Homo-oligomer: A and B are copies of this chain.
Amino acid sequence: MPQYKAPLRDMQFVLHELLNIEQHYASLPAFADTVSRELVDQYLETAADFCENELAPLNQIGDREGCQWHDGVVTTPTGFKEAYQKYIELGFPSLTAEEQYGGQALPNSLGSVISEMVGSSNWAWGMYPGLSHGAVRTIEHHGSDQQKNTYLPKLVSGEWTGTMCLTESHAGSDLGIIRTKAEPNSDGSYAISGEKIFISAGEHDMAENIVHIVLARLPGAPRGTKGISLFIVPKINVNADGSLAERNAVRCGSIEHKMGIHGNATCVINFDQAKGYLIGPENRGLNCMFTFMNTARIGTAIQGLAASESSFQGAVTYARERLAMRALSGAKNPDKEADPIIVHPAVRNLLLTQKAFAEGGRALVYFLSQYADLVEHAATEEARQSADNILSFLTPIAKAFLTETGYEAANKGVQVFGGHGFISEHGMEQIVRDTRIACLYEGTTEIQALDLLGRKVLQSKGALLKDFIQIVTQFCEQHKDNAQLAEFIAPLATHLKQWGDITNQIGAKAQENPDEVGAAAVDYLYFSGYVTLAYFWANMAAVAQQKLAEGSTETAFYGAKINTAKFYFSKILPRTRAHTAIINTGVGTLMALSADDFII
């Protein structure tokens, strides 16, 4: 089983050297006086210790034992509950919450770094506190004062956890067709009835209460997405003084048997005239949810990054130890019966692909989290809007591209192990199974692709794309005379131009036939992902080169950074050629078959 070790040096490289995060915090009134480099590094150390020593050892246990359901009660795997208590004691649940409800009011970007460690060491466990986060944010932004006072302190402290109850058996991506009903009670509350599925952490034994945020329809609500409202539905009702009252009519009907994340309870939750409280305006539930769509999707992007990182760690260790065959260029280990498999170019290709996705993904995620800070805390509305444009544009890329590359990296980790990769005890196949869901939930890759190309790029008439291209262009301009970076800057600039060109081409075709958008979207997303990561790799190479030029003694670290950038540009970025060629062929061959003719 891979022994997780938090990549603190790389995290610090991205935070401090690539993103100048201290300066970023200093520029934001909310954090200028409170968040220093020392504080960031101290949280990282604490989180690393907790994740390496408490969570990682439970990862395989969670997979093997899974959750147990008995008559509505869910028992989590051995050790999960105790680890959660330690997590509370360390103060992690309250990290980013508002101070007046007991939060530490620290930046979300710091939360993302900690989420990466939690997720890399034990994703299934991390979903319990992770889901709470969405509930807290929803109540913080849309709740009444009374709702905030009732629910936030206990959610923030971690004594209670939260869920998001959106999906129904027939309605996943298409939330407009949900059927759960909310009928007004005489006391101002609502009676919520319906069945929700795929509710992660929907029932468990780790906290004394669970606060469900539920999408439902009011009587006579308009059809579709404009008739959905948001409700707080606690598992156990709460008295006015905050103490627990009687059980609400909320029941976990069953838990799913699934491919992975066995340690997390994926629940069917039945609401049978359960008491609920409207949160936010009537029929505006989806809009309220969309407030956090970007951060929730970054949260899922982190799962992809985490899979790349943990699988990479396991694979490198194995590739250095496992002896099999000789290097084609002659024995490297002549006194042993074979060479370690890391001598083989094909094995190195697997490992470097993982490394490039993990470290490149880290840069993208932390960069986005920095923009999420700006969206909330930048001093001017203009700065917030401009940050929101970048965030909105990059979020579907990060979510879909990093989860797909995370899945690829996890599979490459299995491949490095050969047949042993298929065996559970080594832990490599678990990473594949656990991370497979990341390409599905929070909007599948196909949905993200439509969001990127349709909503973000074409609906803005290319404006959001231009904003990001401007950032990259500026970087290219800045380094255009640096000969050592030419191998990165030139192809990056070429790809930027191509990005604009294919966008225009698709836009023109879509005028004729809207299905051209759906036909191009997934390849467009991959193209965008590869170019986005190329920017971060070029940028990281530039930073590393600068450090070496300044005489840093960390030559191995910075040298590896530059060499991995070179690998990315020579072995990964050329994948864009397939995607542009495929985009060029348009929608035609996709729509030719009638539904009846797929199988004859």
Contacts and interface: CB of A to CB of B under 8 A. Distances in A.
Interface of A: 7, 9-10, 167, 170-174, 177, 198, 256-260, 312-313, 316, 320, 323-325, 327-329, 337-338, 340, 342, 344-352, 355, 407, 411, 414-415, 418-425, 429, 432-433, 436-437, 439-441, 444-446, 449-450, 454, 513-515, 517-519, 521-522, 556-557, 559-560, 563-564, 566-567, 570-571, 574-578, 581-582, 585-593, 595-600
Contacts of A437: 419, 422
A582 B571 contact: yes
- Each complex incorporates copies of this chain amounting to 2
User: In terms of DSSP, what is the predominant structure of the interface of chain A?
Assistant: helix
B172 A418 contact: yes
A192 to B, nearest CB: 21
B440 A415 contact: yes
A522 to B, nearest CB: 6
B423 A590 contact: no
Contact of A574 (B407, B414, B578): B578
Given A346-B450, A414-B436, 19 more contacts: A170-B323, A172-B418, A174-B338, A177-B323, A258-B423, A258-B424, A316-B598, A320-B598, A340-B595, A345-B587, A415-B440, A415-B446, A418-B444, A566-B592, A570-B585, A570-B586, A570-B589, A574-B581, A575-B578
A526 to B, nearest CB: 10
Among A327, A429, A574, max chain B CB count under 10 A is at A574
13 contacts: A10-B600, A177-B323, A177-B324, A316-B598, A320-B598, A328-B454, A340-B595, A352-B589, A433-B433, A563-B597, A571-B589, A574-B578, A574-B581
A590 B350 CA distance: 10
B423 A600 contact: no
Nearest to A344: B518
A394 B160 CA distance: 60
Contact of A590 (B7, B348, B424, B578): B348
A61 to B, nearest CB: 13
Contacts of A425: 257
A422 B258 CA distance: 6
B560 A589 contact: no
Contact of A585 (B513, B574, B577): B574
A428 to B, nearest CB: 9
Nearest to A442: B419
A348 B581 CA distance: 18
A32 to B, nearest CB: 33
Contact of A560 (B350, B578, B600): B600
Given A575-B578, A587-B345, A515 B329 contact: yes
Contacts of A570: 582, 585-586, 588-589
B587 A418 contact: no
Among A198, A344, A589, max chain B CB count under 10 A is at A589
A444 B347 CA distance: 11
9 nearest A-B pairs in the assembled complex, by CB-CB distance: A574-B581, A345-B518, A570-B585, A259-B429, A578-B578, A577-B577, A345-B519, A174-B324, A328-B514
B345 A590 contact: yes
A515 to B, nearest CB: 5
A355 to B, nearest CB: 7
B590 A171 contact: no
B324 A597 contact: no
A564 B560 CA distance: 45
Nearest to A585: B570
Contact of A346 (B327, B446, B597): B446
Contacts of A7: 599
B590 A559 contact: no
A59 to B, nearest CB: 15
B578 A347 contact: no
Nearest to A595: B342
B256 A423 contact: yes
B515 A419 contact: no
Nearest to A336: B177
A237 to B, nearest CB: 30
A259 B440 contact: no
Contacts of A591: 345, 348
A590 B571 contact: yes
A415 to B, nearest CB: 6
Contact of A424 (B259, B556, B598): B259
A525 B543 CA distance: 36
Contacts of A563: 589, 592-593, 597
Contact of A324 (B173, B347, B441): B173
Contacts of A419: 167, 172, 198, 437, 440-441
Contact of A436 (B10, B418, B422, B517): B422
A429 B258 contact: yes
Given A423-B257, A423-B258, A329 B514 contact: yes
A566 B260 CA distance: 37
Among A257, A259, A429, max chain B CB count under 10 A is at A259
Contacts of A586: 570
Contact of A172 (B9, B324, B329, B576): B324
A217 to B, nearest CB: 13
Among A338, A350, A418, A514, max chain B CB count under 10 A is at A418
Nearest to A520: B345
A599 B424 CA distance: 24
Contacts of A424: 256-259
Nearest to A173: B324
A257 to B, nearest CB: 4
A567 B595 contact: no
